Each structure stands twice: as structure tokens, then as C-alpha cells.
Amino acid sequence: MSGSIQDTFFEECEDLLEAMDEGLTAIEGGEHDQEVVNAIFRAVHSIKGGAGAFGLDELVGFAHKFETVFDELRSGKLEFDAALIQLLLRSSDHLADLVATARDGGTTDEAHHDVLIEALAKYIPEEEEDLTFEPMGLGGAMAPMPLIEDTTERAYEIRFQPLKDMYGTGNEPFFLFQALSELGELSVRLNESELPGFDAFDADESYLAWDLTLVSNEPRSAIEAVFEFVEGLCELTIESEADEAEDTDALAALNAAFGTDPDASGDAAPAAPFEEPAPAPEAVVSAPVEEKASPPKAETAKAGPKPTLRVDLERVDRLINAVGELIINHSMLAQQIANLDAGDVREVETELEGFKNLARDIQEGVMSIRAQPVKPLFQRMARIVREASSATGKTAKLVTEGEATEVDKTVIERLSDPLTHILRNAVDHGIEKPEDRAAAGKSNAGEIRLTASHRSGSVCIEIRDDGAGVNRPRVKQIAIDKGLIPENAELTDNEIDNLLFLPGFSTAKEISNLSGRGVGMDVVKNAVTGLGGRINISSTPGKGSTFTIILPLTLAVMDGMVVSVADQTMVVPITSIVETMRGSDEMINNLGADGTLLSIRGNFVPICDVADALGLRQHYDQPPGVYLLVETETGQRSALAVDDIYDQRQVVIKSLDGVCGNIPGVAAATILGDGKIAMILDPESILAASPSAAGFDTDRRISNAIAS
């Protein structure tokens, strides 16, 4: 078997498992539509079929049981009930595990496997159990030519008399004889003794019979295999000196297997229809097959109802890189034209503008190839909630919204772990036990709402639970106990909630076997910031908590503001900038030794000098000219002081991973129009590294506390 075919099988399995999950979710939601059941049946059936081709026996066995239950359901012999739906959901999870194991190696939980098999078997009536696909008994397609049997050469006398029904099935005696002739030396004699006179001839009847002699060292099962498709559609006797005795038994078994009794239909008077391609009597069949004349046909493989193309991801990424270069190229061209001493360049600039729009169109088009709906990711999350609920003895249901929202493939892949973690946490720490919920006047089943939406150039993922909310006094106490914050720290509610993201923070009193595996929410935060995103939590005691993740649409290109900092050109992501303004002296207020505040419409925000924070300038003599008002994930506003703003443009993100280590304040780099490299700044970490803004920034204060 070719490895690539097996690869596509596993790819297809992903789609099928997804379809199955989707169907089961609909069924769980009370939609017991026949077509939904059929779709699940087909998905499981296809997994079984493919798995069989690759000899994945455990997968086949389980899929078969699963499928059989669905067969019962779709034939109406079995009805859905809550227990069965739960079993089906767990079985679908297990099926996904089996597929993963078959693909990646490793083992699955055998005890769990057996429990599920047994539970499924309870829904399968005894007689259906036999409806397996074991190879057929006599001369089945599975074993056309067993070689172990007796191989002495002998002469078989075969009498073959088609019943008229055979001709309706497309079986041609000629081809059967040709197949027989490959087993040995065959002679064919047409027996037309039963052909009636012309007056009595019925064109629809079958009158002809053949007597064949085959000298072969193949066992009789090989001959029976040739006649497999016409069993029950003909009268067939195979005799040889050696196994005469077995004949009748075998044939009886054959007929029994097909529920056809040759004697019952044997009274049909044999005759030949006109179109019968009678082979030359007495001839040894060895003539080459005549090709059928067929009209010229259309090209191969017409596309399905909704044509799709599967492309190597690498090719798409190459394209994305090329488009990135194109955008850089455009900036360079624009720059050089601007530098030209060539009089009127307006027309060139108009064309250049068109070039820019086209480049952006291409870029968006390429990006949309990488964009995928979050639906499969969300569907997997339903399972996480299910498992977490059963592990904690709580009842929680995942409701998803905005599944069609499309996000970059890499973002989706790398969101899986953080989402899993947040959802486990939500069940483990957020949702209360059923009795506590009842006492609080809530419904027994907790609800976790997972929402995706597009929000002005970013993607917003929200996880909202209706649990108890963050227990703020306890969270604060833990943070103090662990030395994460000073004992006398005054924190707002929002700041307390965000303590959860600190490294080394875990609220679980004892490590539960679910979410508390020593991995804290800080890992979640790192994963999200690693994607260029932000995460925030808000919580209402008694009502629940909401995690909000804001992510860039793409990881390749972003809109940036090109600024000047200490004679260097840098880029600040537009998404983090709330407002820009030119400063004046009366807006600056000194605070303490080196703290400065910017007064904006009566509010004060701390100023962070970017040059200072990056160590490019120790202290400035004159206040920088421009302030970029940025908002951190905690809602804290700060003003980033830069020297000037040059431009706002799309820049191609070039990762610094593997080029140099992590530089505080710098997220990545880009190439500008003049060919120079500019750093893309990360406002969050600049603020964290800035001493001047520290006094007002909780995050900063907290990280100082950790550092000390």
C-alpha cells in the first residue's frame, strides 16, 4: 500500500470524524433527522472501509460495532434516548482516538475500549451481529486462488447452464470461460439440445448450456470463485475424479448461502437469447477480448458537487512569502520614485497606487486560502467539555457561536491548546457542582459559550461560563501567599482577575486530575501573545467569567504605524493604538522623580518613552513630539512617546525566531520601502520594561514583584 494513499485516508478520516461529530451534536440537540443519522452512518462506514484496506483491525472492529448501532437507528429498530446518545458521543471520541492511534502509534485505553464495545453490543440484536463482513465462504472474492490446497492436476467436468435471470445482470458466459481458461486447459462445448424449434422459441428464455472440461492443478474452490457472481443464476455442476463426493455438499452450501434453490427455478426451459455472444463451440477459449467501440469521452474525473482543490500547505506559504516580497517591493518602488528628480511623476504614482491595490487584493486572496473556519476546532472543544464534566462530576454544556468565522490555519492550530486549557479550567473552577448551582438558583447544567467573531481586523474568541466567577479574595490571598504581589497591594477587581495569568499561579486547593497539571493560565497567555494576540478576563461573582482572546487575522502581514524613535525607524501595530496626538508642554505633568503623566481631556495617563525603554537614549532633553495612546489588555491606558510618525502602512512580518533571542519590547521585524529593516514593537512588553510607566501599571508592578 502506498504511504500517500494511507495519508489521504487519515486526512479523510479527519473530515469524516468532523462530519460525525457535527451529526452527533445535532442529535444531542434533539435533531433526530433521518438524514443526520444517515450521514453519521456513512461517515463511520467510510472510516471502517478505509481502515479495512490498511488492515487497521482494531479500528475496523470498533467502527463496525458503532456503525451497526447506527444501522439499527436508521432502520428505526432502535430509538434515541439520553443514555444512548451519551454512549454514542463517547464512542465517537473513542473512534477519533483509534484513528489517532492508528496514525501516530501509541495505545488506546483497552479497558475503555472493551467497555464501549460491550455497551454498544447491548444495542445490537443477536442476529444482526452476524452481519459482519468476514470473507465469504465458498470461493469468496477474498480468496480467489488459495494455493495451499491439493495441487495435483486433474480434469474437471463442468456443466454450466445459465438461468434467464443471469442475462439481466450483465454476466457473460464468454468472460467466465475466459477466466476459467487461465486456470488450465479449457475446452468448451455448446449444448443446444434444449433449444426448441423455431415456433416454440421465446426470446426471453435461456436455452443454452455449456459443457466444459478444464484440466488444471487448481483446487475446485478456484473454479467456484470464477462462478461466484452467477451463483444462483445458473445451474452449475463441477465434477472431478478426485472430489466427486464433495460436489453435492459444496453446491448445496452454495445455494444455501445465496438462498437460491436451483431446483426451484430449474424448470425454466433453457434457451438462448439473441444477443447471447455465443463462443465458438468446441473451441479452446483464448481469443483476445474485443474492445468495445466507445464514443470519445470527456476528460477524466469530473468534479463533485462543490469542487475543491487540496494543495500542499508549503505551496501556499511560498505564495504568501512571495506576496510579502511583492508588498515590500512596492514600497521600495514608491520610495525610489519619490526620490527621483523627474518632474511630474503623478501618472506613475497613479499606476503605482493601482499596483498597491492589486498587491493587497492578491495578498487578501492568498490569505483567504490559509483561512479556515473555526468550526472543527470548536467541535473538538465539545469533547473537552464533555470529558472535563464527567471527570469532575459536573454537568456542563458547550454552546458555540460564530463557527463560520475564518482564521488563519496556524492560528487555529495553535489555539487548540490554550482553548482546551481555558475550557477545562472553566469546568473545573468556574462551573459549580450541580447542588451548588441549584442552591444558587441556577439550572443544574452549566453552560459554556464559545464565540468567535471578527472585530475590525482582528478575530475575537470569547469563552463565557455561567459559573461562580473568580473568587477574588482567595485569588488575592494566593497571590500574596506565593509572593506574587506585595501584601499591601491595592488592586482593582479587574487586576485581581488578571492575576490568574501570572506564572506559577494555580487556584486549585489540591491538584485536580483535570486542569491542575502544574500548567497555569500563564501558559495560555504566552500561547496567545505568541500569536500576536491578547487575552483578558472579566468576571462577575456568582454570574460567571469571560475570557476574551483578540487575535490578528493573519500572522504574515499587519497594518503598522511607522514611527521614528531616537533616529531609528520602527513599526507599532495599529491594532494596539487607540489614538495618536501631538504633545504640548501644558499636557505634560511631572510626577515624582522621573514619572511623567500626559493629560488628555482631563484624564492622566502615564507616559512611556520608547527610546528610553529600549535603552536607545538615557534621558531626553526635549519631550518627544508624538504620543501614541495604547491600551493594555487590562484596560490600562498608557502613552508611548515617540519622536515622529512617518506613515501608516501594511508591513510584512518577518519573524526574529532563530535570528536572535527574545528582545524585550520587540515583537518581530519588517523590511521597509528603502530596504532597511525596522523593528516591530510590542507595546505591552515595552510598557512592562519601562520604569516610568511602572508606577501605574499593575502588570509591571507585578512582574517587578516576581523578579525581586
Partner 1 sequence: MKTKVLAIDDSRTIRNLLAAALEEAGFEYHCAVDGRDGVDMYGDVAPDVVITDINMPNLDGFGVIEELRGTDINSKVPILVLTTESAPELKARARAAGATGWITKPFDDQSLIFALKRVTGAAA
The residues binding partner 1 (CB under 8 A) are 1-2, 5, 8-9, 11-12, 38-39, 41-42, 45-46, 48-50, 52-55, 131, 133-136, 140-145, 168-172, 174-176, 178-179, 225-226, 228-229, 232-233, 257-259, 289, 291-292, 294-295, 297-298, 300-302, 304-305
The half-sphere exposure of 215 on its side-chain side, counting CA atoms within 13 A, is 3
Q: How far is the CB of 67 from partner 1 (least distance, A)?
A: 9
Which residues make Cβ contacts (< 8 Å) with residue 329, sequence separation at least 6? none
Q: How far is the CB of 56 from partner 1 (least distance, A)?
A: 10
Q: How far is the CB of 412 from partner 1 (least distance, A)?
A: 22
Judge whether 215 and 155 are in contact, CB under 8 Å: yes
Q: How far is the CB of 264 from partner 1 (least distance, A)?
A: 14
Give whole-number Cα distances, 410 to 69, 318, 556, in Å.
37, 15, 11
Nearer to partner 1, 179 or 250 (CB): 179
Q: Cβ atoms within 10 A of the Cβ of 653, count?
A: 21
Question: If you compute the radius of gyration of the chain from its CA atoms, what whole number of angstroms results?
Answer: 37
Instruction: Describe the strand order of the beta sheet including 446-455 as a list of residue ranges.
Output: 396-401, 446-455, 458-465, 544-552, 534-540
Task: Write out the DSSP string of 35-82.
Answer: HHHHHHHHHHHHHHHHHHHTT-HHHHHHHHHHHHHHHHHHTTSS---H
| Dist. CA 624–CA 611, nearest whole Å | 10
Q: Cβ atoms within 10 A of the Cβ of 423, count?
A: 26
Nearest Cα neighbor of 521 from 475, 486, 489 is 475
Nearer to partner 1, 225 or 479 (CB): 225
**What are the E-state strand segments in 125-232?**
154-162, 184-191, 209-216
Q: How far is the CB of 152 from partner 1 (least distance, A)?
A: 23
Strands 603-609 and 626-631: unpaired
Nearer to partner 1, 120 or 672 (CB): 120
Nearer to partner 1, 53 or 519 (CB): 53
Nearer to partner 1, 49 or 623 (CB): 49
Q: Name residue, grid cell 495553535.
A: 414
By three-state DSSP, how is residue 128 classified? helix
Give whole-number Cα distances, 18 to 8, 15, 21, 385, 421, in Å.
15, 5, 5, 17, 21
Q: How far is the CB of 3 from partner 1 (least distance, A)?
A: 12
Nearer to partner 1, 162 or 467 (CB): 162
Nearer to partner 1, 305 or 658 (CB): 305
Judge whether 521 and 421 are in contact, CB under 8 Å: yes
CA triple 529-532-537, angle to 5 deg: 45
Q: How far is the CB of 202 from partner 1 (least distance, A)?
A: 20
SS (HEC) of 547-603: EEEEEECCCCEEEEEEEEECCEEEEEEHHHEEEEEECCHHHEEEECCCEEEEEECCE
Q: How far is the CB of 334 from partner 1 (least distance, A)?
A: 46
Nearer to partner 1, 39 or 570 (CB): 39
Nearer to partner 1, 277 or 661 (CB): 277
Give whole-number Cα distances, 424 to 12, 429, 514, 556, 661, in Å.
28, 8, 7, 31, 33
Furthest C-alpha separation in the chain: 124
Nearer to partner 1, 50 or 583 (CB): 50
Q: How far is the CB of 180 from partner 1 (least distance, A)?
A: 9
Sign of CA dihedral 146, 148, 150, 155: positive
Nearer to partner 1, 178 or 632 (CB): 178
Give 3-state DSSP helix, strand, coil % of the chain, rounded to 5: 45, 20, 35
Q: How far is the CB of 78 from partner 1 (least distance, A)?
A: 18
Q: How far is the CB of 161 from partner 1 (least distance, A)?
A: 18
Q: How far is the CB of 274 from partner 1 (least distance, A)?
A: 13
Q: How far is the CB of 299 from partner 1 (least distance, A)?
A: 9
Q: Name residue, grid cell 508549503.
A: 314
Q: How far is the CB of 37 from partner 1 (least distance, A)?
A: 12
Give whole-number Cα distances, 494 to 100, 216, 702, in Å.
41, 88, 14
Nearer to partner 1, 166 or 367 (CB): 166
Judge whether 191 and 221 are in contact, CB under 8 Å: no
Nearer to partner 1, 183 or 605 (CB): 183
Nearer to partner 1, 295 or 658 (CB): 295
